[in-house]
């Protein structure tokens, strides 16, 4: 099992309590959102090692994908799951946010190196196959992942 498969596996294990409440599809999407945000933070920590222009393109793509997952997938799915009851959807949203914080803690303990890894790009690429992306988000994300791969190979 490659490291990027391990990243996805870790997420699926860590979010098992929500699977019962929310169903596996939205659970996987929340895991992907956590991964994207984690990688974005890791990039900030190592940005001095890389070209500023590359960093801008990567951040732009990851941010676009993160916003898409939250606003176009997770929020509407939660509302739909709870029959339009925004209070219950908000409660589950807060649970998802707590989960993402625990993902971050776990990943920070496990992946302490500050360099970009091709595994991050591979894992995010796997995530992107789980939803249909708008053309703009898909293009921004592809640019980000291509830049991550390129920078990872330089080290």
The tens digit of pLDDT for each residue in 2-51 reads: 555 555 555 555 544 444 444 447 888 888 999 999 999 888 887 788 88
d(CA 145, CA 139): 10
CB 132 within 8 A of CB 60: no
Determine the Cα angle at 131 with ends 126 and 132, to 5°: 120
Which residue is listed with tokens 């960093």? 55
d(CA 34, CA 10): 11
Mean pLDDT rounded to a whole number for the chain: 82
pLDDT above 70 covers a percentage of the chain that reads 80
Whether 129 has a pLDDT exceeding 50, the answer reads yes
The pLDDT, as a whole number, for residue 5 is 58
Beta-carbon contacts of residue 144 (< 8 Å; ≥ 6 apart): 57, 58, 59, 60, 61, 62, 65
The pTM of the full predicted model, rounded to 2 decimals, is 0.81
d(CA 120, CA 44): 14
The tens digit of pLDDT for each residue in 50-103 reads: 888 999 999 999 999 999 999 999 999 999 989 999 999 999 999 999 988 888
d(CA 35, CA 100): 8
């Amino acid at each position: 099992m490659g490291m990027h498969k391990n990243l996805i596996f870790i997420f699926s294990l860590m979010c098992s309590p929500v699977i019962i409440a929310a169903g596996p599809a939205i659970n996987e999407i929340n895991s992907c959102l956590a991964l994207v945000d984690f990688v974005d933070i890791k990039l900030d920590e190592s940005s001095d090692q890389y070209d500023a222009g590359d960093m801008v393109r990567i951040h732009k793509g990851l941010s676009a994908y993160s916003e898409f997952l939250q606003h176009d997938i997770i929020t509407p799915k939660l509302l739909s799951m709870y029959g339009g009851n925004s209070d219950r959807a908000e409660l589950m949203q807060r649970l998802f946010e707590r989960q993402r914080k625990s993902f971050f803690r776990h990943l920070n303990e496990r992946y302490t190196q500050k360099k970009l890894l091709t595994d991050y790009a591979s894992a995010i690429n796997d995530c992107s196959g789980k939803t249909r992306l708008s053309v703009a988000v898909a293009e921004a994300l592809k640019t980000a992942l291509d830049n991550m791969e390129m920078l990872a190979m330089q080290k």
